Structure 1
């Protein structure tokens, strides 16, 4: 389950580009909290703490308890913008989380036990089809990641979503019930598997010199 983190926010007055620029000049980042059957609420966030959270990873699958001038709201980031030159936050959209609600998120796939995959040990290549899987998940049980175990995978094997344990209440949005998440292909030329056969092949006999007339 994704960890819940706390983040202080302040209600801001005014919307639009001019108001957003004014917030940034104060060293803060404009944001908006929406959804849950309530009106959108413009907010501002402290720039340094927000930057640390974004670049720490898993920002879009982290549940936050927003402290909005003393009022607590559970929310999850749905989008954020970065300055294309400075790579600093420009704006964040938060979705309110209400009890019993479900939402669609991208869940990272962590691949484990590569050392236990015979095909990888013999030089095969792991072709990852999905680094993340889009899923419907309960708002109170958002997974940080799902784990794909590569134990036993050999050349030309495929790992399907059905082989990956999913947290309770989580369901992929992909209509294909057993889509391929990754596959393992042999190295070009056959790799180590063909080496013994090549070594065992007898050397060709040298051609005899033609008899001189």
Structure 2
């Protein structure tokens, strides 16, 4: 199951309509609505700076939150829309959806690496690059995994790990259809430089022979 789900604090908004929303913005808050889950919609306000910080952290619409509103039970929500000012591009309203346990959602799940201590490629000095430290998966709200695991114990220099080689938790699947790379094991920069020099030396050695062959033909 998922680890710590971030809290999102809000307050219930008294009054609805454009007037109440405009007042909320004047007070430094962003009005919003929480809907779904066979419960009446709940109008809320979220501090502007709090929401802006969350948005700048990225992936706001793909993050599961634990919504906390005084006087109401905590509930898991995911953002379905953020309306922005057309000129300033700042948030003016947001829609949050309550989730049932069987709701399917897209979330970024962290990648955990195992087998580094026995990887033959790493023992030879290879460099492991985690191209995707998180992978976007379609998951069930009630069964969100903490992470997915990639095993690099048999990787040699030049090998990679793609999503097709990863055993995903039951009920989840990648949101990207193609077989994308999650991590690769490359040669260290020093070894690359040495190989490049060897190739250049080999080319230089071949060059005189090629010239001589041309002269003979002439």
CA distance in 2, matches of 1:153, 1:105: 33
- Note if contact 2:84-2:91 (Cα within 8 Å) is conserved in structure 1: yes
- Note if contact 2:112-2:147 (Cα within 8 Å) is conserved in structure 1: no
Instruction: Looking at secondary structure, tell me which structure has more strand per residue.
Output: 1
In the TM superposition, residue 196 of structure 1 has moved relative to its aligned partner by 1.5
Distance 1:77 1:15, change over 3 A: farther
Residues 121-200 of structure 1 aligned to structure 2 (within 5 Å):
133-143=135-145, 146=148, 152=155, 154-155=157-158, 157=159, 159-173=161-175, 179-181=179-181, 192=193, 193-200=195-202
- Note if contact 2:107-2:139 (Cα within 8 Å) is conserved in structure 1: no
| Secondary structure of residue in 1 paired with 2:144 | coil
- 1:202 aligned residue: 205
Distance 1:90 1:181, change over 3 A: farther
Q: What TM-score, normalized to structure 2?
A: 0.62
- 1:94 aligned residue: 96
CA distance in 2, matches of 1:159, 1:110: 12
- Note if contact 1:27-1:47 (Cα within 8 Å) is conserved in structure 2: yes
CA distance in 2, matches of 1:81, 1:150: 43
Distance 1:172 1:46, change over 3 A: same
- 2:216 aligned residue: none
| Unpaired segments ≥5 residues, structure 1 | 208-213
Instruction: Looking at secondary structure, tell me which structure has more helix per residue.
Output: 2
Distance 1:53 1:145, change over 3 A: farther
Distance 1:52 1:144, change over 3 A: farther
| Unpaired segments ≥5 residues, structure 2 | 187-191, 213-218
| Secondary structure of residue in 1 paired with 2:15 | coil
**Which of 13, 16, 28 is the aligned partner of 1:14?**
16
| Secondary structure of residue in 2 paired with 1:202 | helix
In the TM superposition, residue 46 of structure 1 has moved relative to its aligned partner by 2.1
Q: What TM-score, normalized to structure 1?
A: 0.63
